[in-house]
Amino acid sequence: MKAPDSFIPGSPESAPPSLPLAGIKVIDLATFIAGPFCASMLAEFGAEVIKVEEPGKGDPLRRFGKRSECGDSLTWLSEARNRKSITLNLRSAEGAGLLKRLVATADVLIENFRPGTLEKWGLGYDELSRANPGLVMLRVSGYGQTGPLRSLPGFARIAHAFGGLAHMAREPGGVPVIPGSTSLADYSSGLYGALGVMVALRERDKSGIGQVVDVALFESIFRMMDEMVPAFDRYGLVREPLGADTVNIVPHSHYLSGDGKWLAIACSNDKMFERLCVAMGRQDLIGDPRYATIPERDRRRGEVNALVAEWVDGRTALQVLEQCRQGEVPCSLLYNIADIFQEEQYEARQAIVSVEDGRAGALKVPGIVPKLSRTPGRVESLGPALGAHNFAVYQEAMGISAQEVARLIDEGVI
């Protein structure tokens, strides 16, 4: 991974700064994406993350999507970055005891079992917090830890449906489609989970006491549905699908160029619309009472969209981009991943980084978000082999003898 611009090899300050979460230990019991994504973000900024997986099987994410030459999926290699892997049978009494010993030295535990599962194994928060009163526990589930649906299984697609997003993801009268990523709710829940963990750790700095961070997949989607709640509460408005358009605002959509490429144009205020009029050579539209304000344009949505679509259709995509950028109108091609790999802005931002891995070789993965000016995060390793750190954690960190570790492996405890 390329060093940040402020890092100058050979200078007195050339040693990389300590990462902001150095010293924080995270136990990751979660599978698939939401919880592990949270753990990866914490690891990128210095937290030690120990991934706990089922012996002989591991996280199903290892087998999700395209496989790499080392046997694990590319998704696993990317999303399980910067962590150690140990195996542990949580269903066994001895395995539960080992987890309690591990938790006693940790700051954070992340899990995404169905609510009540850890309690059934004697590993609920009440039990674990007795071993470590300062423990922060992130619990991610489909519907949250409370409520009548708490025990139901949940995945991102279900969260999109239950949270109101899937209803909107279609052309009017069309079939609802996936809103870009099947895993959107997983990633957004991981983000909210990381926020919750950091807030809880900050509070623990004052009180010395940990707490539970409860994230429901559907809530991470529902929280992003802008004005839908107050609009229904005040006016009884039920928003219907708009396809590529945006509620309340026009032009704010996707338009097809004369050479068959789609572009996004966004005019979120009256000033932006005036700039677009100049870019289109339609200064006559500026000040026209039919188009002068957001509400007036919204009332003539089809007419306004047709004006912009006709202009875009009469030009190549590059011509539209050039004229919009000269006029300071927000505009972009609809990029696919091949386009992204050629885009200089991604390179300048290190939005894609190449990581050398002993099992998979060099692999490009998404970079660090957010960018910190003084202590930027790092991608130091890709997803590890199953149980690769069993001896390092159990023997070296926990003081269990090599013979005892071998016995635990033979008996399926780890």
Report which of 109, 309, 107 is spatially closest to residue 193, judged by C-alpha positions: 109
Eight-class DSSP state of 255: E
Residue 38 backbone phi and psi in degrees, to 5: -60, -45
Task: Give the active site residue among 72, 107, 186, 245.
Answer: 186
297: tokens are: 């344009």
Report which of 319, 352, 347, 314 is spatially closest to residue 333, judged by C-alpha positions: 319
Between CA 366 and CA 337 the distance in angstroms is 12
Q: Which residue has the tokens 């097809």?
A: 256
Which residues contact residue 120 at a Cβ distance below 8 angstroms, ignoring those fewer than 6 apart? Answer: none
Give me the sheet containing 262-266, strands edge to edge: 252-256, 262-266, 331-333
Cα–Cα distances in angstroms (integers) from residue 89 to residues 52, 116, 268, 391, 399, in the given order: 9, 17, 53, 16, 19
Listed in sequence order, the DSSP H helices in 314-362 are: 317-326, 337-342, 344-348
**Residue 186: active-site member:** yes
- Which active-site residues does the annotation give? 186
